Amino acid sequence: MARRPKTLRPIRPNAGVEAKYQRALDNLLSEMDKSLRYWITAEYRKALPKITQDAAAGMAMDASIASMLQSLMNRLTKRWRKKFDDTAKDLASRTVSSVDRNSTASMQKALKDAGMAIRFKPTASVRQAMQLAVNENVMLIKSIAEQHLTDVGQMVMRSAMRGGDLKELTDGLTQRFGITRRRAANIARDQNSKITTAINRQRQMDMGLFEAEWMHSGGGKEPRPKHVAAGRSRLRFDIREGVDVDGDGRKILPGQDINCRCTWRMILPGFND
């Protein structure tokens, strides 16, 4: 019976980095939500008598009311778009740097446990992988605000056109905020995994370590059956290419699919069966 190859302990995403990223996004979103609620509620109350009167008379919403509400949303959108734009790069850079520090420490420990004492220096390829991750996260952070502001603006105008139920509007804002918070949490979890995958892949390629075994995370409420099977069979693949684990023609790495928490064991050269 062939013996199993010697492998490097898997490098997993750091839960602390994910939690910190999620907290930063949550604080930013809560600040925006508080501002939107205050100004929308204040201006809506001023317009409510006219909105209700027109609705009761079967009239279209007064043009001046529509203009006032649109002007309000334009101001709020401009303010919070700028806030997220100003914050995105710093938050993304800090998150990627934190992933790199934790990944570096974990890999050095794994190599040491395998009998290899190696200290890493930042290579051009690793720096490039980190910059690409920063760029992607900047776009994602901006998109959170953009989507939320668009949805809130549409909600305000729809509410006014239906006759202006303020409670219905505030309940809708609460529901929309919950959806946006969940999306932000999903981004924090997913990006922590993807950044870890990208940095570890590049660092291991720089070391000349290319062969790996798929390792299923064992977590998640709805695990992908083919990912589970790949982990059980210790599916081998080349990290330079990825592997068509799902049988759909896509070659991917563990952790690359949305919400995939899989990772890999690096096979150490010279110890193959």
Q: How many CB atoms lie within 10 A of CB 101?
A: 12
For the chain, helix, strand, coil in percent to 5 are: 65, 5, 25
> How far, in Å, CA of 221 to CA of 180, rounded?
21
Residues in the chain: 273
SS3 at position 8: strand
The pTM assigned to this predicted structure is 0.87
> How far, in Å, CA of 108 to CA of 237, rounded?
23
* Per-residue pLDDT tens digits of the chain, which is 273 residues long: 445 668 888 899 999 999 999 999 999 999 999 999 999 988 878 776 666 665 555 555 556 777 888 889 999 999 999 999 999 999 999 999 999 999 999 988 888 888 877 788 879 999 999 999 999 999 999 999 999 999 999 998 887 777 667 788 899 999 999 999 999 999 999 999 999 999 999 999 998 999 999 999 776 677 888 999 998 999 999 999 999 998 899 999 998 888 888 999 999 876 444
Distances (CA, A) of 145 to 10, 113, 247: 35, 44, 36
pLDDT at residue 172 in the model: 93
pLDDT at residue 271 in the model: 47
> How far, in Å, CA of 40 to CA of 57, rounded?
24
Give me the residue spans of the domains in the chain. Answer: 8-206, 211-267
pLDDT at residue 203 in the model: 92
CA dihedral 73, 76, 79, 83 (to 10 degrees): -110
pLDDT at residue 272 in the model: 46
